Amino acid sequence: MKIFIDTASIEEIKKYLAEGLCDGVTTNPTTFVKAGILDKEKVKERILEIAKLIDPRPLSVEVTSENPEEIISQAREFTNWALNIVVKVTVIDRNGNSLLSAINQLVKEGIIINVTSVMTYNQAILTAKTLANGLQSANAKKPHFISIFAGRIAEEHGVQVAFNAIKNTRDWLDCYQINGVEILIASVRSPENVEYFSRAGGHAITIPPEALAKSLVSAKSKEGVAIFIEDARKSS
């Protein structure tokens, strides 16, 4: 299972690259706000910096429009910035209208897509069908991603419903041999989310630095290390 880092912080990305834990990076407008980057040109500069830093690993960058024509235009622009940019598009707009037509068009053009805000099994398999259709184009590249927002699903319906959405989608992809479409477990909130959802069959999981750091900590590990170091000093 691949691990993506959900951040726009250069320092955090460098840290997890050095630890061998970064298979890619995901960003969204919120991650740039957290990094203190608000200016549009500064956002572009940071995207280019991250893309270069992690190349050839994928960097997900989100469009900022719900209009299908604007989505397509922005996606084309983003992919001209760097070869490893993956374009994030929500599965529907705020009124519940499907954005799959824009997604299908972009896949056919050879643009790698990360479909986000997927909250249900039905959304996931219909998205997978669209991606699989687009992959039949001669220009299409892969893999594409379906970001199942497990943390948000769990907040509303419980962790088991979130787990089942991931597992059932993976079973469906495997059953119908849908190649070139991967499940990205997203909206991870805590080490407990990492532990539980990573067993559901996703191809990748994107984790914010704070949750990833906590996942590496154990009080008993710290206690054991302290004992070993102290005993080593006694015997030296």
What's the pLDDT tens digit per position in 124-159? Answer: 999 999 999 999 999 999 999 999 999 999 999 999
- Confidence bin at 235 (pLDDT 50/70/90): confident
Q: Is the pLDDT at 18 greater than 80, yes or no?
A: yes
pLDDT, position 231: 84
Which sequence positions are flagged as catalytic? 88
Name the pTM for this structure: 0.96
Which domains, and CATH codes, for the chain? 2-235 (3.20.20.70)
Phi, psi of 58 (to 5 degrees): -75, 145
Q: What is the pLDDT of residue 118?
A: 98
Cβ atoms 209, 13 nearer than 8 A: no
pLDDT exceeding 70 applies to what percent of the chain? 100
Specify the pLDDT at position 234. Answer: 87
* % the chain with pLDDT above 90: 93
- Sorting pLDDT into bands at 50, 70 and 90, what band is 111? very high
Q: For all residues of the chain together, what is the average pLDDT?
A: 97
pLDDT of residue 236: 66
Q: What pLDDT does residue 193 have? A: 97
Alpha-carbon distance 170 to 142, whole Å? 17
57 to 85, 104, 187, 204, 213: CA distances (angstroms): 9, 23, 20, 13, 21
**Over 70: is that where the pLDDT of 104 sits?**
yes
Reported as a single tens digit per residue, the pLDDT across 155-200 is: 999 999 999 999 999 999 999 999 999 999 999 999 999 999 999 9
103 with 134: CB under 8 angstroms? yes
